[in-house]
Structure 1
């Protein structure tokens, strides 16, 4: 499961060229905080064999490996939700076909922002971060965010998670051995800014952490919720689903039983990937 041993990723531009050359519907994967694009490595071949052209572009300045990321955490600092959404929008603008977009955690929020801009053929949001208008604040979500929110200076920093913090926020639904392996293979520092943006979204009318849920060009959307997720609990995903239901497009909800926030990277990832492929097969 060594994510750092994967063949060197193509650059974003090379991935776009490759997707355009296939003539297939692209699928753009967007990772969340404390992970890298390599968190999608096993997903790519599944979608390729299903007839799509997968792309796993990074956030701006993402290092290639977890080792590099942990050695140079400062590269993550000060990345905001709006900046990251614009980064992916620019990449999508270079694709010759409208892509499906799949995001996890803050990547799920970015995916919904892009869908709200009419940039996505179909969207899957997995255990999304909340946005303006999503009101529930479950205790476990606050505790998961505490690593960042406890210090206001973290807004401008890159913040790593200790193993204990990762175990609670990501790996609560797997055993200790797998939790440690996930932490060693995948965990990297993350910008504090998006966590502060999501936390204050309902207080700030100008927040970047907002989604146009009513755009008729949003396209089909699937909200996936891990039953035991501490970081993005069911209450948050239900509230997101209820806001997105106002859209004229197809809006569906799937709960993955017994799963935490690590559901895209842990040993049960394939069930989530297959659920995602099945949705795209019907709607994209």
Structure 2
């Protein structure tokens, strides 16, 4: 029986962006589930649909998608950037084995927009009616903020995989003072599972300082910092080493879980 892992993508992405991580985890015996968030499928009218979505829609979708999987073991939750916000919200609501946060976006009291790269969001910020407008960074902004450690050809190919993101979800996450419904709030006290946080010294979208503030919410958090990596940790030259480190950290919790099942 394989250990299930739920992979939650970040802004402008789909479940397909987890392909490299899934390959590496599956080769180590894990069963990967990488859903695409609502209205993120890359179809022609995708921007029209995603603009209606908020963080509550994303979270409700993930809770139901995980329920439908009928996992026989408690899942490991792995989130990247905005997906790390959702992973934390999930971990406060479902029984997870462990929580892994890759270059997490800081939300609700942890810096919000001040902790993110303003250049990536500048056109959206200038557009007005922010919560109604889907957005996607320009190639130049994405190359600088998301893919700064990639070659130009790689930057272009990765950019072609991006979709529009919901202005409403972005508004709720990055401007917490305006999130009256607390749709992006994280009940960190309700997260009972072990937590592992990855930060990167050359991350221009979710800086290492923001990741440190996220990790500080959790007692006994395990941290891994990569001084020379950028934001796109899910498919760069060090992804395999990162996945190996995550798996090594997970093994004792998996073994403890297996022993508990055997005793029962």
Question: Under a length normalisation based on structure 1, what TM-score does the superposition of the two structures give?
Answer: 0.80
In structure 1, list runs of 5 or more residues that go unmatched.
Answer: 1-22
Tell me the equivalent position of 2:212. 238
2:192 is the alignment partner of 1:214: no
Deviation at 1:244, TM superposition (A): 2.2
Partner Cα distance (2:128, 2:248) in 1: 42
Residue in structure 2 matching 1:260, options 209, 230, 252: 230
2:199 is the alignment partner of 1:225: yes
- In the comparison of the two structures, how many residue pairs are matched? 252
Residue in structure 1 matching 2:84, options 96, 103, 108: 108
Partner Cα distance (2:109, 2:145) in 1: 23
Partner Cα distance (1:75, 1:85) in 2: 17
Tell me the equivalent position of 1:144. 120
2:186 is the alignment partner of 1:187: no
CA contact 1:70–1:189 (8 Å) conserved in 2: no
CA contact 1:103–1:109 (8 Å) conserved in 2: yes
Give the superposed CA RMSD.
Answer: 2.2
Question: Cα 1:154–1:203, aligned 2, differ >3 Å: closer, same or farther?
Answer: closer
Structure 1 residue matching 2:182: 3-state secondary structure? coil
Deviations 1:90-119 (A, max 9, x none): 122232322101111111110011112243
Question: Under a length normalisation based on structure 2, what TM-score does the superposition of the two structures give?
Answer: 0.86
* Correspondences of 1:14-93 after superposition (within 5 Å): 23-63=1-41, 68-69=42-43, 72-93=46-67
Partner Cα distance (2:208, 2:102) in 1: 11
Deviation at 1:123, TM superposition (A): 0.8
In structure 2, list runs of 5 or more residues that go unmatched.
Answer: 255-264
* Correspondences of 1:1-16 after superposition (within 5 Å): none
Partner Cα distance (2:44, 2:228) in 1: 30
Partner Cα distance (2:248, 2:132) in 1: 40
Partner Cα distance (1:195, 1:57) in 2: 19
Deviation at 1:167, TM superposition (A): 1.0
Deviations 1:217-266 (A, max 9, x none): 52011111122111100111111111223xxxx41111123111112133
Question: Cα 1:128–1:148, aligned 2, differ >3 Å: closer, same or farther?
Answer: farther
Tell me the equivalent position of 1:279. 249
2:139 is the alignment partner of 1:163: yes
Deviation at 1:36, TM superposition (A): 1.0
Tell me the equivalent position of 2:74. 98
* Correspondences of 1:189-208 after superposition (within 5 Å): 189-202=164-177, 204=179, 206-208=181-183
Partner Cα distance (2:10, 2:115) in 1: 20
Deviation at 1:87, TM superposition (A): 1.0
Question: Cα 1:231–1:27, aligned 2, differ >3 Å: closer, same or farther?
Answer: same
Partner Cα distance (1:234, 1:115) in 2: 22
Partner Cα distance (1:202, 1:235) in 2: 20
